[in-house]
Amino acid sequence: MTTRYRVEYALKVRDWPLLPLLANIAGLLAVPFVLHSQPTAISEEHGEGLKAVAADTHLRYAEIMKDVENLMLDHIHHHERNAPGKSKLNLLVPTVGTFFTQLYLEDAFKYQDRQRFISRRRFVAPSFNDIRLILNSAQVLGLVRSSDVKLVTFDGDVTLYDDGACLMPDNPVIPRILRLLQQDRKIGIVTAAGYTDAPKYYERLQGLLDAIHVSPDLTAEQKQGLIVMGGESNFLFRFDPSADARLAYVPREEWLLDEMQAWSEGDITELLDLAESALRACAANLNLPAAVLRKDRAVGVYPVNGVRINREQLEETVLVVQNTVQRSAVGSRLPFCAFNGGNDVFVDIGDKSWGVRACQRYFGGIDPSKTLHVGDQFLSAGANDFKARLASTTAWIASPAETVELLDELEESVHS
């Protein structure tokens, strides 16, 4: 997913807030790469010289990561003090957001260098992908060292299981999630998949829900530590051992945030009508082999007869509908999220920042600095996980296997 092509393409089509930060770090690391890590003669392939070059490059990279770590710390302090003007990091990266915890970039780099041998490479410079993983590790260390993880929220597709698939009983993420529950941490599955009834979620999450149900290691209270937030921020379900679907719908009046109470049904219908007409116009214009699906709190286009819609068409559709709704009066009153789901485009009422905030509140008001959202959508047009960064710390993964690795890293960090 994070190919150079994709990054450059995304750079052209939209202003993605974290990208300049990654680009800056990649740019800084490119200097020692060019100066120290240049290809050597084949005869030196196994020589001591090569090891010395790698060790030197490692030191230079680590130094740079420490400098960026200090810039981030200065940025955090600047915010905390409410200091006038911009932080140094803000001058360098105007779109940079706030950080809820310190990010231990130097130690994270050392960890990822042991995993990925970044400083031994002589032909391939530190990539966006390397830096994405370093930032994830730095965030995990930040949560463990300067805060505490009380709530982990997970996206569904691509994060817990493959796109469009289900969470099967043999999924290695299941014992990791059970471990988190056993440590009295809370779990939210914050997915765009928007269904109004529990059996639909049971179908998608059966492996996990059954494992929690039969687990002899979890107390009844720990089992209640799992909730599912569907449609980004629209439908909440709690674990219910007495229900066939293992989930019970939680009425909105029990969990809606104060600001969400003001979202009127009239506005919701008006926004979805507008989005639907924009989607229909775009599907006709691009001749998409797609049908329109209107739901209670969402509207989307999805391909018919199992065909694939190409990425450019998907992203064009996202940007058209996003622009149309944003420019409307109702679009300024009501938050919404238009995103490319890999082979479909959906517009949901609300977004994952509201979804994560509602989970935090449901569990008694967990702080953003004690919440980690794990997701895959931080880059493509209208990436829906990116919004969670407004409400919590985040980890940007590229596959379900990376989610498992991240949870193991978290566990190791807690015990080290």
Using the structure block, give the residue that is written with the tokens 């230079």: 60
Q: Rounded to the nearest whole angstrom, what is the least distance from the CB of residue 135 to ligand IMP in the complex?
A: 20
* Pick 240 or 385: Cβ nearer Mg ion: 385
Q: Rounded to the nearest whole angstrom, what is the least distance from the CB of residue 346 to ligand IMP in the complex?
A: 3
Quote the tokens at residue 338. 């238009």
Determine if 325 is a binding residue for ligand IMP (CB under 6 A).
no
Report the residue from 76, 105, 118, 193 that binds ligand IMP according to the rule CB under 6 A.
193
Determine if 276 is a binding residue for ligand IMP (CB under 6 A).
no
Determine if 295 is a binding residue for ligand IMP (CB under 6 A).
yes
Using the structure block, give the residue that is written with the tokens 């569907």: 230
Determine if 194 is a binding residue for ligand IMP (CB under 6 A).
yes
* Pick 101 or 380: Cβ nearer ligand IMP: 380
Q: How many residues bind ligand IMP (CB under 6 A)?
A: 18
Q: Reply yes or no on whether 385 is catalytic.
A: no
By CB atoms closer than 10 A (0-12, 13-18, 19+), residue 3 is: exposed
* Pick 1 or 248: Cβ nearer Mg ion: 1
Q: Rounded to the nearest whole angstrom, what is the least distance from the CB of residue 338 to Mg ion in the complex?
A: 15
Alpha-carbon distances, residue 349 vs 234, 265, 300 (angstroms): 7, 11, 12
Report the residue from 140, 151, 158, 160 that binds Mg ion according to the rule CB under 5 A.
158
Site string for Mg ion, 262-281 (x = CB under 5 A): --------------------
Q: Rounded to the nearest whole angstrom, what is the least distance from the CB of residue 16 to ligand IMP in the complex?
A: 18
Q: Reply yes or no on whether 217 is catalytic.
A: no
Determine if 69 is a binding residue for ligand IMP (CB under 6 A).
no
Q: Work out what residue 130 binds among ligand IMP, Mg ion, none; the CB cut-off runs from 5 to 8 Å by kind.
A: none
Q: Rounded to the nearest whole angstrom, what is the least distance from the CB of residue 349 to ligand IMP in the complex?
A: 9
Q: Which strands make up the sheet holding 345-349, listed edge to edge?
A: 290-294, 298-303, 345-349, 336-340
Determine if 113 is a binding residue for Mg ion (CB under 5 A).
no
Pairing of strands 298-303, 186-190: unpaired
| Calpha distance 360→64 (Å, rounded) | 35
Q: Sign of dihedral through CA atoms 181, 183, 186, 190?
A: negative
Q: Please answer whether residues 210 and 169 qualify as being in contact, where contact means their C-beta atoms are separated by less than 8 angstroms.
A: yes
Contacts 24+ apart (CB under 8 A), 41-44: none
Q: Rounded to the nearest whole angstrom, what is the least distance from the CB of residue 332 to ligand IMP in the complex?
A: 22
Report the residue from 33, 201, 346, 354 that binds ligand IMP according to the rule CB under 6 A.
346
| Calpha distance 378→394 (Å, rounded) | 10
Residue span binding Mg ion (CB under 5 A) among the ranges 82-90, 129-137, 153-161, 323-331: 153-161
Q: Work out what residue 188 binds among ligand IMP, Mg ion, none; the CB cut-off runs from 5 to 8 Å by kind.
A: none
Report the residue from 69, 155, 344, 409 that binds Mg ion according to the rule CB under 5 A.
155
* Pick 376 or 409: Cβ nearer Mg ion: 376
Residue span binding Mg ion (CB under 5 A) among the ranges 154-162, 260-268, 270-278, 320-328: 154-162
Q: How many residues bind Mg ion (CB under 5 A)?
A: 4
Alpha-carbon distances, residue 21 vs 25, 30, 31, 125, 166 (angstroms): 6, 14, 16, 17, 34
Q: Work out what residue 295 binds among Mg ion, ligand IMP, none; the CB cut-off runs from 5 to 8 Å by kind.
A: ligand IMP
b/e string for 171-196 if b means 16 or more Cβ within 10 A? Answer: bebbebbbebbeeebbbbbbbbbbbe
Quote the tokens at residue 37. 């890590």
Query: Taking each helix axis from N to C terminus, what angle separates 105-116 and 128-146, rounded to the nearest 10 degrees?
Result: 130
| Calpha distance 313→329 (Å, rounded) | 26
Determine if 350 is a binding residue for ligand IMP (CB under 6 A).
no
Site for ligand IMP in 141-170 (CB under 6 A): 155-158
Give me the helices (H) in 251-384, please.
258-261, 265-285, 311-327, 329-333, 352-362
Please tell me which residue in 157, 240, 376, 385 is annotated as part of the active site. Answer: 157
The set of residues, in sequence order, having a beta carbon less than 8 Å from that of 242 and lying 6+ positions away, is: none
Please tell me which residue in 107, 113, 130, 155 is annotated as part of the active site. Answer: 155
| Calpha distance 242→223 (Å, rounded) | 12
Q: Rounded to the nearest whole angstrom, what is the least distance from the CB of residue 293 to ligand IMP in the complex?
A: 8
Q: Please answer whether residues 127 and 26 qualify as being in contact, where contact means their C-beta atoms are separated by less than 8 angstroms.
A: yes
Known catalytic residues?
155, 157
Residues forming the site for ligand IMP (CB under 6 A): 155-158, 191-194, 231, 295, 298, 300, 341-342, 344, 346, 348, 384
Residues forming the site for Mg ion (CB under 5 A): 155, 157-158, 376
